Amino acid sequence: MPSSRLRLLLLVAVVRGAMRPGAVNNRFPDDFLFGAASASYQVEGGWDADGKGEGIWDRMFHEHPEFSRDGQNGDVADDSYHLYKEDVKLLKELGVNHYRFSISWPRIMPTGEANNINQPGIDYYNNLINELLDNGIQPMVTMYHWDLPQWLQDLGGWTNPIIVDYFEDYARVLYETYGDRVKWWSTFNEPKSFIMGYSRDDGLIAPSIKKPGVGDYLATHHLLIAHARAYHLYDEQYRAKQQGKVSIALNTDWHEPLTNSTEDIAAADRAMQFDFGLFAHPIFSTEGDYPPLLRERIDNNSKAEGRTRSRLPVFSKEMVEYIRGTYDFLGLNYYSTTLVTSGLTGDNPSRERDSGIIESVDPSWPTSPSSTWLKVVPWGLRKLITWIHQNYNAPTIVITENGYSDHGTLEDTERISYYKSHMTEVLKAMNEDGAHVIGYTAWSILDNLEWNSGYTERFGVCYVNISDPARPRTPKASFYYLKNVFQTHEIQDTTDGSR
């Protein structure tokens, strides 16, 4: 029998979330949410079907087919526009609680304007949502997974402040149309990734406009305001009757100092601030606004460049308050880790250069056979979750993406190992560090168009044969492995998907 002091300490630890009584690192709580994810442009196809408008990825790949590594684009992709019922069947068999998918803005609003609604597009998502619910699966909807209507891009896209009004209109249409059934919303997927569409012109991300250190910060500024608008709109007009949750899905690699030197530790912190804090601090921190470190560095650099104002726009006091706290949970995408030291690299000016960091990897880390950037570092996920827990007020976290790529083998034992080791680290963050993680979402249900890498990087737990016009789907071994985990809530110690 523990002494009363020990009992008290244990109780405090449990109440503070520092540990879960009886928790083990291979078992998820009974109410833990498992899911799988996709995104409209990567799976739907039907790029101009039934009145859909042109998106920025349509325009980019049609004008620059050479940007695609294997010549594939999203014109047909996995044809989920027609085959969504098959997708839902697979999701049901996988045993997910939720399906995280995105809505294509130009499919339902061809120009992005709310006075121009495309009914067949609206119907498509109604059908998908109803099919999911009929099969006991919760829709978890991303409003923006990078496919902006080209019409809005022609006005400057995310660099024009007017986009905020258009995004709010779009969010209103979504809440009005689908909010009776959708209870999980994310405004944006991976702002860190899509702002690169305004800093480089190599086709990595549409619209592929090279204005580094300026365009990407403008886009950041406006998407943060747009996010807050959509959140407040929900709060004021929909939350009471629809009772859902609204947030944002952020991504970053974990950045580990290259050595124990003070300089490297500071550089790794800077990397976290530039990659994650830029978006998280205004929303999730106690003080709100951009991280002070970024404000200072970018303001100083801008001054030194002889500018009259900072390249990083300034929020008014009112706007800081307006954005602060606009979340019901934090969506987190994690894939990999880098080592960081200080140094200058990248275009001058650029966000990269402003951050003053140089990244490398440990050669001993295993690499995905198809994505050179994807080093397998499971402990990075735990460190990231715990860092977020400690720095941003212990938010409720849903892992909105985590996954592994290869060339499409059905016996994907490495993907199974990846899932196994990463889920174990999630549990460690929960059980040993007290983080509040309530869900885990595998990327992806299907092999799909990996943006400019086409189908050369396949992340699916189901194989998709893209040489066949019928786009047949075949579950891989990892599908059966995850099915088992999702069913039992226990991480099985095997690397073959026992069928």
- The two most distant CA atoms of the chain are separated, in Å, by 73
Q: Residue 36 and residue 443: Cα distance in Å, rounded?
A: 6
Q: What are the strands of the beta sheet with 254-257, ordered from one edge?
A: 254-257, 337-342, 357-360
Among 167, 443, 455, 479, binds ligand NOJ (CB under 6 A): 443
Closest CB 51 distance from ligand NOJ, rounded Å: 25
Selected from 118, 186, 189, 350, the binder of ligand NOJ by CB under 6 A is 189
Q: Which is nearer to ligand NOJ, 227 or 297 (CB)?
A: 227
81 near ligand NOJ (CB under 6 A): no
Token pair of 428 as six digits: 């460690």
Considering only 39, 140, 174, 196, the residue that binds ligand NOJ (CB under 6 A) is 39
Taking the complex as a whole, the smallest distance from the CB of residue 445 to ligand NOJ amounts, in Å, to 12
CB of 374 within 8 A of CB of 368? yes
- In whole angstroms, give the CA distance from residue 73 to residue 54: 13
Binding status of residue 406 toward ligand NOJ by CB under 6 A: no
Is residue 275 within the footprint of ligand NOJ (CB under 6 A)? no
Per rule CB under 6 A, is residue 401 in the interface with ligand NOJ? Answer: yes
| Residue 166 contacts ligand NOJ per CB under 6 A | no
Q: How far is the CB of 67 from ligand NOJ (least distance, A)?
A: 16
CB 334 within 8 A of CB 384: yes
Q: Which of 190, 352, 414, 457 is flagged as catalytic?
A: 190
Q: Are 294 and 300 in contact (CB under 8 A)?
A: no
Task: Using CB under 6 A, count the residues that bind ligand NOJ.
Answer: 9
In the numeric block, which tokens belong to residue 334?
């994690």
Asked if residue 190 binds ligand NOJ (CB under 6 A), the reply is yes
Alpha-carbon distance of 398 to 277, in angstroms, equals 18
Residue with smaller CB distance to ligand NOJ, 442 or 491: 442
Strands 33-37 and 98-102: parallel
Q: Quote the radius of gyration of the chain (alpha carbons, Å).
A: 22
x/- binding map, residues 355-394, to ligand NOJ, per CB under 6 A? ----------------------------------------
**Between 264 and 406, CB nearer to ligand NOJ:** 406
Report the sign of the C-alpha dihedral through residues 186, 294, 252, 286, in that order.
negative
**What would the x/- binding string for ligand NOJ be over residues 322 to 351, using CB under 6 A?**
-----------x------------------
Helix (H) or strand (E) holding 481: helix 477-488
Q: What's the token pair of residue 47? A: 């790029």
Q: For residue 401, indicate whether it is catalytic.
A: yes
User: At its nearest, how many Å lie between ligand NOJ and the CB of residue 388?
Assistant: 18
Of 492, 489, 496, residue with least CA distance to 97: 489
The verdict on 459 binding ligand NOJ (CB under 6 A) reads yes
Given the rule CB under 6 A, which residues bind ligand NOJ?
Answer: 39, 42, 189-190, 333, 401, 443, 450, 459
Q: Which residues are catalytic?
A: 190, 401
